[in-house]
């Protein structure tokens, strides 16, 4: 849609995800970061300042069950008159994907969509709202691209979880992820190859992110 806000431009975002490579993150794109609006240490303003200093081209703040960090980051960009980095809406939601809890990322959605209300409380959803199919449906209704976060971090293998997520309508997987928090940040080779292979077999989008919770966008902690 022509009047769609840039933070919800999923057409452009799909193009970006379609071209993500192992070296895209953390200095070109980063689609998994947390602020002190959930369990991160950086303020949204400090996070954005680092993003601009690093030279990120595109990014999303994915606070847990909140978009307050996104709102403050967008305000900071406007106040600073910075247009060098493209900020998309983002969120991370805990959901039950049988037989385990997983984290689901949503990008490029309308945060005012009523279907998202149960997931913007700052707390993990409970009951039927916690079901992965319910989370995915709510995000899609809001216009989001929906991604399974770090598929190799759970008590079930990505070979088990990704097909289930696909059956529920997932759009992509977080393919490039540093599972052991190495310095410098680099995607974990074995897990990346597994997730990349599965993503390709199901025609999924691939994303990347540092999952930053600390004070440095180039690291997880």
pLDDT of amino acid 1: 41
157-203 pLDDT, tens digit each:
999 999 999 999 999 999 999 999 999 999 999 999 999 999 999 99
> The whole model's pTM is what?
0.97
41-94 pLDDT, tens digit each:
999 999 999 999 999 999 999 999 999 999 999 999 999 999 999 999 999 999
> Which stretches does DSSP call E strand in 35-171?
58-60, 86-88, 90-97, 100-107, 145-148
Angstrom distances, CA of residue 152 to CA of 81, 178, 196: 39, 10, 11
Asked if CATH classification 3.20.20.140 holds for the domain at 6-208, the reply, yes or no, is yes
Domain ranges of the chain: 6-208
């Amino acid at each position: 849609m022509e009047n769609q806000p840039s933070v919800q431009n999923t057409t452009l975002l799909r193009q970006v995800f379609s071209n993500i490579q192992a070296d895209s993150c953390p200095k070109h794109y980063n689609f998994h970061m947390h602020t002190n609006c959930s369990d991160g240490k950086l303020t949204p303003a400090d996070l954005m300042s680092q993003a601009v200093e690093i030279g990120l081209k595109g990014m999303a703040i994915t606070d847990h069950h909140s978009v307050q960090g996104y709102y403050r980051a967008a305000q900071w960009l406007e106040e600073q008159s910075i247009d060098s980095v493209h900020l998309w809406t983002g969120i991370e939601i805990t959901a039950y994907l049988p037989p385990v809890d997983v984290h689901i990322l949503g990008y490029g959605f309308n945060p005012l969509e009523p279907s998202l209300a149960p997931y913007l409380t700052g707390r993990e959803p409970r009951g039927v709202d916690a079901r992965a199919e319910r989370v995915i449906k709510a995000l899609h209704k809001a216009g989001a691209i929906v991604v399974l976060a770090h598929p190799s971090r759970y008590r079930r293998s990505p070979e088990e979880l990704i097909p289930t997520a696909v059956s529920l309508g997932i759009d992509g997987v977080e393919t490039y992820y540093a599972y052991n928090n190495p310095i410098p940040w680099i995607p974990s080779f074995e897990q990346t190859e597994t997730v990349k292979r599965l993503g390709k077999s199901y025609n999924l989008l691939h994303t990347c992110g540092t999952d930053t919770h600390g004070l440095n966008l180039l690291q997880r902690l």
